[in-house]
Structure 1
Amino acid sequence: MKVTVVMAERCSATSVSAALEFLECANVLQRFLTGDPAATPFEVHSASLDGAPVECTGGLRLSPQRALSEVPHSDLVIVPGFMFNILAVLPALEPLSAWLRERHAQGSYIASMCTGAFVTAQAGLLDGRRATTHWIFSEQFARRFPRVLLQAERSVTDDGQLLCSAGSTTGSDLLLHIIRRFASPQLAIECSKKLLVDSAERLQTPYMSASFNKAHQDAEVLRVQIWLEKHSAERIVLDEVAARFALSPRHLIRRFKDATGQTPVQYLQSLRLERAKHLLEASQENFERITQQVGYEDGSSFRRLFKERVGLSPGAYRRRFNRLA
């Protein structure tokens, strides 16, 4: 399989090097497993827009083998992530997006790592397709590309000839998926063992923090948000909140959702979940006590809500993120 790994200004050096090294590992292990010194499931080349070296995040310079215009047919193109630079550099990457459109039309698979999905979406290739990206940028992605079927909780999406990975280290999930799909499941398992990378599918959800949108023009809703944040640990009744701000419950719900994207109850749940996550990360309090501290009385129902929204049980979340656990 002919693979082109793209390099671009301000891209993530980690995603480029991971792609090169994972696929080289697959080639080495395939030769070892088969005893065939010529076995090479992935023929890998690197390229930048003009063939010149690029400066990556952190200042590291990478030298590609050729310019994009010099790339022969590629079965697979890997687009790197751009960490926190993506929104600033995206307009300058339109030539790369145009090249991706051409390659996809010629039958190439396109695999986008992390925020590289913005570049592929800018090409229009993800319209009507399932995709993921780094959760920090999921709201900006959804606003810019509303026709994409964004699945921000997923670490990897595979929709025909278009593949994506979520934030940062989930690039390893995508690369193992590529090895599994285009070489063999056994080779992917061997790579995961040798590289000490878990091959099990995971979600981005436990790493995500709730968004509390205050960048809107409804001053009354903003007042309600601030009040909920100050009183989230108390017993709160929606009708009473509405009366406090001289609104009907129905009117409050409509205006609140129009402004923030959430209902007041969903917003309050998110506040309490974020507080519970912080306490699980930073303390040894038992979950029943945490439940009371964040404003819930029923530990069982809050435990179910936590698992549903975070993707892990409270105990599993603490084991993953609490250094004292």
Structure 2
Amino acid sequence: MNDLSNAPEGRRVLDVTIVMLDDGLSSTAVMPTEIFHSAGSLWNALHDEPAYPAFRVCTVSLQGATVRTPYGFGMIPAASVESIERSDIVIVPTSGLDLDLKLVENSALLPWLRRQHASGAYIVGVCMGAAYLAAAGLLDGRLATTHWAACGEMATRFPKVHWHPELFMTEDQRILCSGGVGASIDISLYLVEKFCGHDIAVQTAKALLLPMPRLMQSGYAVLPVSRAHDDPQIRAIEAWLQENFRKDVSIQQLAERVHMGARTFVRRFKSATGRLPAAYVQALRIEAAKTMLEHEDASVTVIAEAVGYLDLGFFRALFKRITGMTPGQYRAEFSPISVRGHAPPELHLIAGEALVGRC
């Protein structure tokens, strides 16, 4: 953790330790390595300017041995975990889907993470790497996120953690999490901006042709509208709403369908589903809108009306609040090229040709 004499304004170069674990998606370790290594350097090199590296990156594995990947190649770290006494930032990537196996296999990592955090390090769990932070007790009582598809299992396994699957990133007392493989980019650029400022983060992103950090992953998720429960009357209402979510219906009307008073119905519905009835209907409508934006070229106004919203402004605001994107941004991200309508000319040409013999 020595200063570099040519660092601008006396900025200290920060030590980043990237943990590599067997059977994980390599990009969750490689992308942070490349981003931190590039910060303060790559943009400068592309513009023939002096480089001022902002971070010193070291890759490690538990024993310093080569790490295997699911697709047949190995990654050779620079050192072992225990050789790192103190780091400013620690990145923990994914390590395979079988958490029961992996948490045992990599259990030696947990006390090391606790020591690093106690020494002042920022500890980052990328995607399902958050499981190691939770298993180490670092996330108890704190905000966290992970891949949206894993959040249910994480919440069951680590109930003391405040999981937020709608978020790409969380930060709580030097503990950070990111959801999904691509969010390794978001969390790395976020930390570059946090420690080096917006200009360096933008330069790093531009040099690597990366987007600046996103905040929400709910636009990418296929989350269940309701959690599992055993209330047959509420299940009947859910089934009816899933067929009739476009209709405007009052709490009293819903309650009468299952012969309950309004207050009792609201209490039972929230207890069973985890949502108030209005929020449940909103979630159904937004999921329907997402599907239409992904597959149809209808205008946003038409889609809003089709899912039950005549007030376009309200629909846009609600859609962004729930997904983290405007309807237009969501369509640009997830619709087919034929719907987006802005494919490069060469792609239109290829799509129109018979590709016999090209493979």
TM-score bracket relative to the smaller structure = 0.7 to 0.9
Call closer, same or farther: CA 1:255–1:187 in 2, change over 3 Å: same
Corresponding position of 1:176: 189
The aligned amino acid for 2:287 is: E
Tell me the TM-score normalised to structure 2 length.
0.78
Corresponding position of 2:50: 35
Shift of 1:279: 0.9
Do 1:291 and 1:299's aligned partners in 2 also have CA atoms closer than 8 Å? yes
Call closer, same or farther: CA 1:5–1:256 in 2, change over 3 Å: same
| Residue 158 (str. 1) matches residue 171 (str. 2) | yes
Among 319, 330, 334, the alignment partner of 1:317 is: 330
| Residue 102 (str. 1) matches residue 115 (str. 2) | yes
| Residue 213 (str. 1) matches residue 209 (str. 2) | no
Do 1:112 and 1:163's aligned partners in 2 also have CA atoms closer than 8 Å? yes
| Residue 261 (str. 1) matches residue 274 (str. 2) | yes
Shift of 1:264: 2.4
Distance 1:214 1:125 in 2: 27
Distance 2:247 2:330 in 1: 24
Distance 1:214 1:104 in 2: 34
Do 1:83 and 1:114's aligned partners in 2 also have CA atoms closer than 8 Å? no
The aligned amino acid for 1:35 is: P
Distance 1:249 1:58 in 2: 55
| Residue 6 (str. 1) matches residue 19 (str. 2) | yes
SS at match of 1:127: coil
Call closer, same or farther: CA 1:226–1:89 in 2, change over 3 Å: farther
Call closer, same or farther: CA 1:49–1:230 in 2, change over 3 Å: same
Q: Which moved more, 1:299-308 or 1:220-229?
A: 299-308
The aligned amino acid for 2:239 is: I
Q: Deviations over 1:185-243 (max 9, x none)?
A: 44323211110112255432322334233522223322222222122234433323322
Tell me the TM-score normalised to structure 1 length.
0.85
Alignment of 1:273-292 (within 5 A): 273-292=286-305
**When the two structures are aligned, how many residues end up with a matched partner?**
323
SS at match of 2:123: strand
Q: Deviations over 1:157-204 (max 9, x none)?
A: 333432322322121122122333344544323211110112255432
| Residue 203 (str. 1) matches residue 203 (str. 2) | no
Call closer, same or farther: CA 1:317–1:43 in 2, change over 3 Å: closer
| Residue 243 (str. 1) matches residue 243 (str. 2) | no
Do 1:281 and 1:321's aligned partners in 2 also have CA atoms closer than 8 Å? yes
SS at match of 2:192: helix
Do 2:165 and 2:179's aligned partners in 1 also have CA atoms closer than 8 Å? yes
Gaps of at least 5 residues in structure 1 are none
Distance 1:299 1:41 in 2: 45
Corresponding position of 2:38: 25
The aligned amino acid for 1:120 is: L
Shift of 1:275: 0.7
Q: Deviations over 1:27-63 (max 9, x none)?
A: 6438747636xx5543322222233333334444323
Alignment of 1:44-59 (within 5 A): 44-59=57-72
| Residue 64 (str. 1) matches residue 102 (str. 2) | no
Shift of 1:104: 1.6
Do 2:168 and 2:178's aligned partners in 1 also have CA atoms closer than 8 Å? yes
| Residue 81 (str. 1) matches residue 94 (str. 2) | yes
SS at match of 2:329: helix
Gaps of at least 5 residues in structure 2 are 1-13, 341-359
Distance 1:34 1:298 in 2: 52
| Residue 295 (str. 1) matches residue 295 (str. 2) | no
Do 1:135 and 1:166's aligned partners in 2 also have CA atoms closer than 8 Å? yes
SS at match of 1:168: coil
Distance 2:25 2:300 in 1: 39
Q: Which moved more, 1:188-197 or 1:75-84?
A: 75-84
User: Which protein is richer in helix relative to its size?
Assistant: 1
